[in-house]
Structure 1
Amino acid sequence: MSLRLLAATFALVGVSFGAQANAECEVSIDANDMMQFSKQTLSVPATCKEVTLTLNHTGKLPAQSMGHNVVIADTANLQAVGTEGMSAGVENNYVKPGDERVYAHTKVIGGGESTSVTFSTENMTAGGDYSFFCSFPGHWAVMKGKFEFM
């Protein structure tokens, strides 16, 4: 095998692994008008330095009446973050501004809309107890799941 062919092969393998690593650090979830997420668990490898989370609202109702977002926090803080988020208002996407208990959150969207957020995992610990939930008023109690950083 020529040196040029060998270098090209390694370059292609490197591109393939790079694309795979990026894909592993991207998660997507749907939410609907029935206050349900499409998944109970979102998982990313602990090797991800950044994660991109995409939320798709597959329903038809507007954000004012059936808006959804995704918030990631320690499971122990889920209820407090959800409760305090209600008073933060829609202008803050129902997340208290500067809340250090929140690792990431998307904006609130309505039916047919989509949004993404890219966040650092620097403050997360592999195997930690994390949850995702919708902080729209009244939703966090039923719209929640596990966020695995393993």
Structure 2
Amino acid sequence: MNTKTKLSLLILMGFLTITSCGKKETVPAEESTEVTETSAEGVQPAVTEENVLIIEGNDQMQFNTNELKAVAGKPIKLTLKHVGKIPKESMGHNLVVLQEGTDQSAFALKANEAQATDYIPESEKASIIAHTKLLGGGEEDTIEFTIDKKGSYPFICSFPGHVAMMKGVLLVE
């Protein structure tokens, strides 16, 4: 397949998905959280150094949020939960955090050809900050990474055709 055909197919899949979906599932987004607990004496222990992020993907090709927030220079613990029921061969989801300025469409086209590596193209390793495994319904994966530089880092699902609807931004402040 040439690039024009692939791009046309990707756009058509996104259009069909948008027009064929029924009621949208709305799930409140979970923001970056820092855990603090108060002991019996009322003294607060030190705040954890970690950014804990949770995002869900469903069978309607949607993440439950398109924005995540984290603090620069601190470890990020990101969990992707596939809350659907369809297996990964048909409705697989992953989450790929990309470098600022990465062309998401070009990345997605290369990912379409990378089935053997769960749609993570070897040729684009320099564009990837972190990524989860490819998940099927009911599965989850947690990854840990650190971003030192403040900025807006795009994230996508690189399963073929999903980038049209499953994308967002990780804001590192």
Superposition TM-score, scaled by structure 1 size: 0.79
**Match of residue 56 from structure 2:** 30
- 3-state secondary structure, aligned to 1:129: strand
**Match of residue 17 from structure 1:** 46
Structure 1 residue 75 displacement after superposition: 5.1
**Match of residue 86 from structure 1:** 112
Q: Is there any run of 5+ residues in structure 2 with no aligned partner, and where? A: 1-40
**Match of residue 14 from structure 2:** none
Query: Does structure 2 conserve the Cα–Cα contact (< 8 Å) formed by 1:81 and 1:95?
Result: no
Q: How many residues end up aligned between the 2 structures?
A: 130
CA RMSD of aligned residues (A): 1.7
**What's the % identity of the aligned pairs?**
35
**Match of residue 26 from structure 2:** none
**Match of residue 5 from structure 1:** none
| Runs ≥4 residues deviating over 6 A | none
CA distance in 1, matches of 2:52, 2:106: 27
CA distance in 2, matches of 1:53, 1:73: 14
Structure 1 residue 80 displacement after superposition: 2.0
Superposition TM-score, scaled by structure 2 size: 0.69
**Match of residue 60 from structure 1:** 85
* Equivalent residue for 1:140, pick from 142, 146, 163: 163
Q: Is there any run of 5+ residues in structure 1 with no aligned partner, and where? A: 1-8
CA distance in 2, matches of 1:82, 1:17: 41
CA distance in 2, matches of 1:75, 1:67: 25
- 3-state secondary structure, aligned to 1:81: helix
CA distance in 2, matches of 1:113, 1:100: 27
- 3-state secondary structure, aligned to 2:126: coil
Q: Which residue identity is paired with 2:80? A: L
Query: Does structure 1 conserve the Cα–Cα contact (< 8 Å) formed by 2:58 and 2:82?
Result: yes
**Match of residue 69 from structure 1:** 94
- 3-state secondary structure, aligned to 2:89: helix
Q: Which has the greater radius of gyration?
A: 1
